């Protein structure tokens, strides 16, 4: 944990340096003063709506195991995303499964499986939109290659998920011999964890629900791109809607890199990088990145803190619960 934090802070500091290098802070200040708050408010509303849709989508994935109220789903989602923002190395991803396990009959391993399904749908949706735009927007080779790599990884992960769902026994025969290389107690725990995790993928066996979840995933990321575009209008950038999707994809690739809490540095650097593809000057791009970061992270922090008193957790609690699941 400590090493991850040090590495994240180091990467963040480096990206902050590159974001500020050779930049005229006076121009940045002018860009911040020129913001149109009506468009910024609409972008803020989009970001709030995204959190609501995420919690609703997660409820669909959890429905085969327990009917959980939308308020609890929204509260846990908000606190869980706060943990993702606040805890380095993406360890905060465990917060949602941990919290929902304490409020329902869903085990932490099953809940973790549903979160994994969410991530696969998100990546596939984003990259599908990205590749649909490629013929219309000339992009650098490195970005196209990075997108292709992410898409291949996501497709491989989806293929593996479908395999373990529809060929559960065969998947077990492949994976259990690997687990048996571990000490006996850990081996049994890993086998039990695998079965619970696969249970969390149950939604993939229901075609109707799978398409519903996929449709919600498309809606979530279209709204996210709309927030990016509304901020274009807020800053007076004359850019097409397609540019919003490209900036969104570049930013998502950037914040996937473990850095300091709050995505400080990588959010700004990759936002500047995405806007530079469309000729936006660095100072104006940094102004945009500062506002977008404040809104995007601000919504998560505000909502997370609002529901935190009712959904308290600590990393030690999460680790202890994970150990219990492994040792069952």
Phi-psi label, residue 66: left if phi above 0, alpha if psi -120 to 50, beta otherwise: beta
pTM of the model: 0.85
Q: Which residues contact 256 (CB under 8 A, 6 or more apart)?
A: none
Task: Give Cβ neighbours of residue 86 (< 8 Å, ≥ 6 apart).
Answer: 92, 261, 262
Q: Say how far apart CA 123 and CA 105 lie, in whole Å.
A: 28
| Residue 152 pLDDT class (50, 70, 90 cuts) | confident
Mean pLDDT of 110-132: 85
pLDDT band at 11 (very low <50, low <70, confident <90, very high): confident
Give residue 283's pLDDT band: very low, low, confident or very high (50, 70, 90). very high
Query: In the structure encoding, which two tokens stand for residue 98, read together?
Result: 């941990």
Task: Supply 84's token pair.
Answer: 């993702």
Q: Mind listing the pLDDT tens digit for each residue in 175-193?
A: 777 666 666 655 565 666 6
User: Per-residue pLDDT for 219 more than 60?
Assistant: yes
């Amino acid at each position: 944990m400590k090493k991850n934090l040090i590495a994240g802070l180091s990467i963040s500091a480096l990206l902050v340096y590159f974001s500020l290098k050779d930049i005229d802070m006076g121009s940045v200040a002018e860009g911040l003063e020129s913001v149109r708050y009506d468009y910024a408010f609409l972008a803020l509303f989009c970001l709030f709506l995204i959190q609501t849709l995420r919690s609703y989508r997660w409820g669909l994935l959890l429905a085969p195991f327990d009917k959980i109220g939308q308020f609890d789903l929204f509260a846990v989602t908000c606190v869980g995303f706060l943990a993702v923002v606040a805890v380095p190395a993406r360890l905060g991803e465990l917060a949602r499964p941990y919290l929902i396990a304490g409020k329902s009959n869903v085990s932490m391993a099953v809940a973790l499986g549903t979160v994994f399904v969410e991530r696969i749908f998100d990546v596939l949706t984003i990259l599908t939109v990205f590749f649909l735009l490629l013929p219309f927007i000339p992009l650098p080779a490195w970005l196209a290659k990075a997108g292709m790599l992410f898409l291949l990884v996501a497709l491989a992960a989806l293929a593996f998920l479908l395999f373990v769902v529809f060929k559960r026994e065969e998947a077990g025969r492949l994976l259990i011999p690997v687990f048996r290389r571990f000490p006996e107690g850990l081996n049994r725990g890993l086998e039990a964890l695998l079965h619970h995790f696969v249970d969390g993928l149950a939604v993939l066996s229901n075609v109707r629900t799978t398409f519903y979840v996929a449709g919600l995933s498309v809606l979530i990321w279209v709204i996210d791109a709309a927030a990016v575009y509304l901020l274009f209008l807020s800053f007076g950038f004359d850019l097409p809607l397609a540019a919003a999707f490209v900036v969104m994809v570049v930013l998502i690739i950037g914040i996937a890199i473990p850095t300091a809490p709050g995505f400080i540095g990588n959010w700004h650097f990759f936002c500047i990088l995405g806007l530079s593809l469309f000729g936006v000057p660095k100072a104006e791009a940094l102004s945009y990145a500062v506002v977008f970061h404040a809104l995007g992270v601000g919504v998560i922090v505000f909502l997370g803190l609002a529901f935190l008193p009712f959904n308290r957790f600590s990393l030690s609690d999460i680790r202890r619960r994970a150990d219990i699941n492994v040792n069952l």
